[in-house]
Amino acid sequence: MQSTYGVSPHLQHFSCMIDLFGRAGLLKRAEEIIIKTPYELTPDRWATLLGACKVHQNTDIGEWAAEKLQEMRPDNPGYYVLVANMYADAGRWDKLAKMRTFMRDVGVLLIARAEYVPVCSAFFAPVEVAALRVLESKGTLRESISVFKAYDLS
């Protein structure tokens, strides 16, 4: 890209390539891009690779992505659920049990099968409620509550 077009690749370029290779099932190529990138990857990028590994049933690269994602300890509970689902789909019950224990220890709480949940006179989707609980356990709920979108059911 640099030699042909004179454009230096940025994080977004690397992220796009990871996503494209992942969707195409070329997970080894996506892994190579990640290793060569000069940028610090965000939890979103690791989750993108992890999701592709789940879809294409590649637990080797998926476990690597899961480890990197867990090291970052993101506030989004969906990432932890994605890791747990990958282990469940692969039949790795020992790893699934460890992941669920990790989720419990970190404070990720999920509410199953609920449409909307009332919190402080507003309605939030269940995943948002789980994220609120993680933030509350870290003492950052007040600063972060504006990030969440309340649903008006009237």
Split at pLDDT 50, 70, 90, the class of 7 is: confident
- Tell which residue, 102, 33, 132, has the closest CA to residue 46: 33
* CA atoms of 98 and 33, how far apart (whole Å): 29
Asked if pLDDT for residue 28 goes beyond 90, the answer is yes
- Tell which residue, 70, 89, 91, has the closest CA to residue 79: 70
Q: Judging by beta carbons within 10 Å of its beta carbon (0-12, 13-18, 19+), is residue 66 exposed, middle or buried?
A: buried
Most confident of 11-15, 22-26, 132-136: 22-26
Residue-level pLDDT at 124: 45
- Tell which residue, 74, 144, 142, has the closest CA to residue 103: 74
Asked if pLDDT for residue 80 goes beyond 90, the answer is no
* CA atoms of 43 and 49, how far apart (whole Å): 10
Q: List phi, psi (to 5°) of 151.
A: -100, 130
Residue-level pLDDT at 111: 55
pLDDT in tens, 91-150: 888 988 888 888 888 777 665 544 444 445 454 444 444 555 555 555 544 444 444 434
Split at pLDDT 50, 70, 90, the class of 21 is: very high
Split at pLDDT 50, 70, 90, the class of 32 is: very high
